[in-house]
Copies of this chain bind each other. A is one copy, B any other.
Amino acid sequence: MKSNPSISFIGAGHLAWHLAPALDNVGFVVTEVYSRNRAHALALTERLYQAELKATLDFSTSKSTVFIIAASDDAIEEIAQEIILPDEAILVHTSGSQPLSILQFAATPNIGVFYPLQTFTKAKKVDFGTIPIFIESNATEAQQLLTSIAKTISKKVERIGSNERKALHVAAVFASNFTNHMLSLSQHILQQNSMSFDLLKPLIVETINKAIEIGPHNSQTGPAKRGDNNIISNHIEFLNEDEKLAELYQLISASIAATHTS
């Protein structure tokens, strides 16, 4: 087997913060980090064995094979068009919502996507072993290389196309961002009434355990599921001082009712 390919990161946000050291730790050398935010790039190099800070997108003399764009979605296309790459470079992005084709005008024929499905925050350590990584590429060799890299850090690596990845990303927004916002709204309601969010924690843990165990469709409970319109009107009246919140309550309840009667 050939020696592990070296890797460069373009972008030093939440994902790169966790992914670059994870790859470094299993024996890939992360050689370079570039970010428009120099301080972020510098901080990330300090988490790595021998990575250098890159000041420009000119990677023509780089020893890396794989170039991972871990930047915000809006920046990917521009980076792909500006980056100067060595021969045989593989350029990948890490976005759930962008198609592979956003890299089509890059100066390499080998493009791909390396999408770890997780929510990343710098302050919170993550275990890549349990994080599914989704790979896409236009080239067989690149596909194989990206898959083998992903498999060194994750037990769950799958190949999916751009359309499926978009569906997955939309679903993830519901499952993670929107779920979290429901918790945030419950926290807000309790705060308005001088109660602590801690009171809800056992309920939240049980709700999620049950949804994971028997599936969320089967585990739905509550007034909207039961069609208990008295409680629903009662709650909407309670929320009425905050018109937007009352509207949200109404709409989500209607969505639950529609799901469970159709």
B175 touches A183 (CB 8 A): yes
Cα separation A90 to B258 with both chains bound (whole Å): 40
Out of B185, B202, B216, B222, which one reaches A187, CB within 8 Å? Answer: B216
Contact assessment for B206 and A189 in the assembled complex, using a CB-CB cutoff below 8 Å: no
State whether the Cβ of A79 lies closer than 8 Å to any Cβ in chain B: no
Q: A255 contacts which of B74, B187, B203, B248 (Cβ < 8 Å)?
A: B248
The one of B167, B184, B203, B251 that contacts A176, using a Cβ cutoff of 8 Å:
B203
| Complex alpha-carbon distance, A118 and B258, angstroms | 24
A58 contacts the other chain (CB 8 A):
no
A207/B180 in contact, CB under 8 A? yes
A192 within 8 A of B: yes
Residues of B within 8 A of A55 (CB): none
Interface residues in A213-262 (C-beta closer than 8 Å to B): 213-217, 219-226, 228, 230-231, 234-235, 238-239, 244-245, 247-249, 251-252, 254-256, 258-259
A117 to B203, CA, bound (A): 7
Out of B168, B174, B193, which one reaches A167, CB within 8 Å? B193
Are B192 and A175 in contact (CB-based, < 8 A)? no
Given A193-B167, A204-B176, A207-B175; A117-B181 close (CB under 8 Å) = no
CA gap between A120 and B73 in the complex, in Å: 42
| A205 touching B203, Cβ below 8 Å | no
Those 6 A-B pairs whose CB atoms lie nearest each other, nearest first: A177-B222, A183-B216, A175-B186, A167-B193, A174-B186, A184-B216
16 additional A-B pairs beyond A168-B199, A169-B235, A171-B189, beta carbons within 8 Å, are: A117-B200, A119-B222, A120-B221, A164-B193, A167-B192, A167-B193, A170-B189, A174-B249, A176-B200, A176-B221, A177-B224, A181-B224, A184-B217, A187-B216, A188-B217, A248-B252
A-B contact pairs, 26 of them (CB 8 A): A72-B228, A73-B230, A73-B231, A97-B235, A117-B199, A117-B203, A119-B207, A158-B199, A164-B193, A167-B195, A169-B235, A170-B189, A171-B186, A172-B203, A175-B207, A176-B200, A178-B182, A178-B256, A179-B204, A181-B216, A183-B208, A197-B216, A204-B208, A205-B212, A244-B254, A251-B251
Residues of A within 8 A of B (CB): 72-74, 97, 117-121, 123-124, 126, 130-132, 156, 158, 160, 163-164, 166-190, 192-193, 195, 197, 199-208, 210-217, 219-226, 228, 230-231, 234-235, 238-239, 244-245, 247-249, 251-252, 254-256, 258-259
